[in-house]
Amino acid sequence: MNRRIAACTGIALVTFFAFVYTPISDSDFWWHIAAGQWIAAHGALPLTDPFGMYSAADSVRNNTVLRGQWLGQVLLFELFDHWGSNGVIATRALLLTGCLGLLFWRAHRLGAATWANWAILIPSGLLALGFTNERPQLFSYLFATVTFVALENYARSRAQAWLWVLPLIAVAWANTHGAVLLAVALLPLYVAVLWLHDRQQQSFRAQHGALALAVVAFIAATLLAPNGLTTYRYLFALEGSALQAATSEYTSSFALYQLGNIVPQIWVAVLYCLALIACVGLWRHDRPRLALVIFLGVIGAWSYRYLAFFIFITGPYLASGLSRAFNVKPSRLSSRYGIALLLLIASSAIALGVQNGMALRCGVNRSLFPVTALEVLGDKNFSGKIFNHMQWGGYLLWRLGSNAHLYVDGRMLDSSRLEPYRHILWATPSGIELLRREQFDVIMLPPSNRFTGERYALVDYLHVQREWRRVYEDRDAVVFVHSN
């Protein structure tokens, strides 16, 4: 990679870093660090809900959620505990920028033309801006990328040391996040297609045996985690469930417009159009990697949750396939004026982003959580039974701890609570009956749905009920206390 290409890539990555260095906004982040704090304090993994919100109604989900991400949760907690929100934000920005940088570097090593590399890097980077959630899943993006770096280095050098890195990655990944199962599906597929391809070309290599053994070792190493096979059982139990249907992350990548994400929807369409062209080049020259592109492309289209893995794992293969489809050799960036223009555009974009609050901002996105309400009313004033908005459950767990008994949070260890929650939130006749039966002491909600702007019916209902007293309200939160 010549200096000018490296300079342009560096400018692009710095710009990307600036736009993913933004305040904490993920509602699940808080229960993750609350769990990490509990694990660090007790030196053990919880067997039941440590916050007393749920009984073990679903043992498979209970075990998976409580113990399946323990290492990622402890890491997030330690980051937050030592360096505050800025430490978490910087780690998130570095992880995502690193994965994007590795995408470009890997594509260059595969011989992708510069124009093809940039054609994939730009939509990939813009889509990656949507994967800034502060969860253990962030570490999965790095583990997935490094796994395929090891495979590509083995294919390049035939040094078996790269293969034996794979089980080590598997152990760390399996204890950090359940997306390790994605690699469990991808690696055997890659080996199987590689074998078939080489047999057809009459170039079967003995080294493939070592690769197969390394993949088996990778799969076996994923069982060296507290849940073992339970993680696999949970994957099948979740498929087609009501909980999955209610989770926006499982929305198709081609239905993002239904959630109001029009611009990301355009970039999804651009990336998949480029992927279709790239498949032509991969069919001619690299069918094993074509199999990975098709597999990840399908599940990435089916669920937005997996689109990041499609980007970070197969992005280099898409760039290589584009080059091969048009039979263009690797090119060099020769114009100094091009670098100066890119630097001007990047610096202007960052300046605009800072001015509009979209780049290089730290802290917590206060509008998404009842931060001000708790500051005004005081944490200690919240005790007893609380009906809360689901997206606030994790934050309230972190702030209130055992002082209060919350109704729901993003862990959803008891999925049977989801339907009653909705009925109460929208004040349906059955919801009103449930509200009276549950005998809540406090109700904390945002006035309206932040995605659609629709006002929650429960808020208007409580305003006219004598037994409920409004003690706080602003544009982000409203708090009612029962008169008793």
pLDDT tens, position by position, 384-402: 899 999 999 999 999 998 7
Q: Do 437 and 316 reside in the same domain of the chain?
A: no
Instruction: Judge whether 373 lies within some domain.
Output: yes
Q: Do 318 and 387 reside in the same domain of the chain?
A: no
Identify whether the C-beta of residue 120 lies closer than 8 Å to the C-beta of residue 274. Answer: yes
| pLDDT score recorded for residue 243 | 62
Q: Is pLDDT of 232 > 90?
A: no
- Identify the sign of the CA torsion 465, 466, 468, 470: positive
Q: Do 27 and 133 reside in the same domain of the chain?
A: yes
Q: Is pLDDT of 198 > 80?
A: no
Q: Domain ends where: 326, 355, 384?
A: 355
Question: CB burial class (10 A; 0-12, 13-18, 19+) of residue 357?
Answer: exposed
Q: Do 344 and 373 reside in the same domain of the chain?
A: no
| Residues in Cβ contact with 189 at an 8 Å cutoff, skipping those fewer than 6 apart | 291, 292, 295
| pLDDT score recorded for residue 13 | 95
Q: Domain ends where: 294, 327, 355?
A: 355
DSSP 330: P
Q: Do 42 and 17 reside in the same domain of the chain?
A: yes
Instruction: Judge whether 361 lies within some domain.
Output: no
Q: Is pLDDT of 201 > 60?
A: no
Identify whether the C-beta of residue 74 lies closer than 8 Å to the C-beta of residue 116. Answer: no
Q: Take residue 142 and report the two structure tokens written for it.
A: 């790095």
Whole-angstrom distance, CA of residue 355 vs CA of residue 104: 29
Q: Take residue 310 and report the two structure tokens written for it.
A: 């499609």
Q: Do 207 and 245 reside in the same domain of the chain?
A: yes
Q: Do 303 and 180 reside in the same domain of the chain?
A: yes
List 451's β-bridge partners, or say none.
none
Q: Do 345 and 407 reside in the same domain of the chain?
A: no
| pLDDT score recorded for residue 206 | 60
What is the average pLDDT across 304-319?
Answer: 96
Q: Do 441 and 305 reside in the same domain of the chain?
A: no
Of the listed ranges 112-116, 174-178, 402-406, the least confidently predicted one is 402-406
pTM of the entire predicted model: 0.93
Instruction: Judge whether 43 lies within some domain.
Output: yes
More reliable by pLDDT, 307 or 450: 307
| Tokens 């006002």 found at | 455
Question: CB burial class (10 A; 0-12, 13-18, 19+) of residue 278?
Answer: buried
Identify whether the C-beta of residue 439 lies closer than 8 Å to the C-beta of residue 384. Answer: no
Q: Take residue 112 and report the two structure tokens written for it.
A: 């992708």
Whole-angstrom distance, CA of residue 455 vs CA of residue 458: 9
Q: Do 128 and 203 reside in the same domain of the chain?
A: yes
Q: Domain ends where: 311, 332, 355?
A: 355
Instruction: Judge whether 187 lies within some domain.
Output: yes
Instruction: Judge whether 129 lies within some domain.
Output: yes
pLDDT band for position 335 (cuts 50, 70, 90): low
Q: Do 27 and 164 reside in the same domain of the chain?
A: yes
Identify whether the C-beta of residue 332 lies closer than 8 Å to the C-beta of residue 287. Answer: no
Identify whether the C-beta of residue 385 lies closer than 8 Å to the C-beta of residue 53. Answer: no
Q: Do 171 and 146 reside in the same domain of the chain?
A: yes
Instruction: Measure Cα distances from 181 to 228, 241, 242, 444 in Å.
Output: 12, 19, 22, 37
Instruction: Judge whether 62 lies within some domain.
Output: yes
∠ CA 131-136-154, nearest 5°, is 85
Instruction: Judge whether 75 lies within some domain.
Output: yes
Q: Is pLDDT of 205 > 80?
A: no
| pLDDT score recorded for residue 470 | 95
Query: Quick one: which of 195, 83, 75 has its CA closest to 136?
Result: 75
Give the domain range for residue 373.
Answer: 366-482
Nearest-Å Rg of the Cα atoms of the chain is 24
- How many independent structural domains does the chain possess? 2
The crossing angle, in degrees rounded to 10, of helices 70-109 and 114-128 is: 160
Instruction: Judge whether 360 lies within some domain.
Output: no
- Identify the sign of the CA torsion 138, 142, 148, 150: negative
